Amino acid sequence: MNDKTIGTAVITGASAGLGKIYADRLAKRGFDLVLVARSHDKLESLASSLRKEYGVAVRTLTADLSSDADVSKVVADITADDSVTLLVNNAGASTLGSVFDLSAAKLEEMNRVNVTALVRLSHAILPKFKARDNGTLVNIGSVLGFFTMPISSVYSGTKGYVAGFTKGLQQEVADSKVVVQLVLPSATATEIWEKSGVPVTALDPASVMTAENCVDAALAGLDLGEKVTLPSIEDAELYAAFEAAAMALFSASSGTPASRYGVTKG
């Protein structure tokens, strides 16, 4: 995939972790890039190395996605660029801990970065993709979007939103050639662990995937046409069964209270 007509990929959280690997892999495939992150110096360093190694055009956009003004700046930039054909909503914030111990600022940051920014950027770019019947949106969620621990209630809540939102978008573009992929990584060796308050060294090494393997698996899933990619799950039927159970639960709803409540009146 080295045809330069494939366009420009926008990657948020591009200065480190999964975003940095996505930037490398997509540049290798021939995409020009728009790299978005808070750290100007890291972005410029990465952009320089990618231009040199792959000969692609790379722009940087320094932005803090917990800031409404900066999100608006990114929205304006990517909607004005008609070359954009791929958006990877990778930026994320994570502070693990009991909701009773987390500051209001940390709660707000996770919601603003993980949910609000992702939704606004998806909302901005999808109409352009739909209008030309071409484009790919990749939203990075987490397996913690459907599994919650006592220290992950807020983070899991944000990733649960990402999962539900993205699956809804998939249905909205089902009649087009627009692709929407939901990626659900398990524990991955990125800087987000240190920032979360739980160092990656506290985890079983056998349960932690490298960032490189995670992105390569996610891109392989995209190439295979997967709507939902779980990079570390060997048995794909597990997720299919999860979705089937969710549909069965939804379909079992009725207008009558369950008999165990004893409240039904003739």
For the chain, list the domains and their CATH numbers. Answer: 4-254 (3.40.50.720)
Question: What's the rounded mean pLDDT across residues 188-206?
Answer: 57
Q: How confident is the model at residue 5 (pLDDT cuts 50, 70, 90)?
A: low
The stretches of 112-232 forming alpha helices (DSSP H) are 118-132, 153-172, 192-196, 211-224
Q: Are strands 58-62 and 84-89 parallel, antiparallel or unpaired?
A: unpaired
The pair of three-digit structure tokens given for residue 221, joined into one six-digit string:
């899933």
Q: How confident is the model at residue 60 (pLDDT cuts 50, 70, 90)?
A: very high
Q: How confident is the model at residue 71 (pLDDT cuts 50, 70, 90)?
A: very high
| Active-site annotation holds for 54 | no
pLDDT digits (tens, 9 = 90+) for 21-40: 999 999 999 999 999 999 99
* pLDDT for the residue 205: 65
* pLDDT for the residue 2: 37
Torsion of CA 17, 18, 24, 27, to 10 degrees: -140
Closest CA to 165 of 184, 139, 147, 188: 139
Indicate which residue of 22, 54, 155, 161 is catalytic: 155
Please state, in angstroms and rounded to a whole number, the distance separating the CA atoms of residues 54 and 177: 28
Residue with tokens 């709507």: 227
Question: What's the rounded mean pLDDT across residues 60-73?
Answer: 98
pLDDT digits (tens, 9 = 90+) for 90-145: 999 988 888 898 999 999 999 999 999 999 999 999 999 999 999 999 999 999 89
Residue with tokens 């969620």: 141
Specify the DSSP class assigned to residue 83.
Answer: T
Q: Minimum mean pLDDT among 19-28, 44-53, 196-205, 252-261: which range?
A: 196-205
pLDDT digits (tens, 9 = 90+) for 208-253: 889 999 999 999 999 999 999 999 999 999 999 999 999 999 999 9
Q: Minimum mean pLDDT among 40-44, 48-52, 100-104: which range?
A: 100-104
Closest CA to 55 of 34, 74, 32: 32
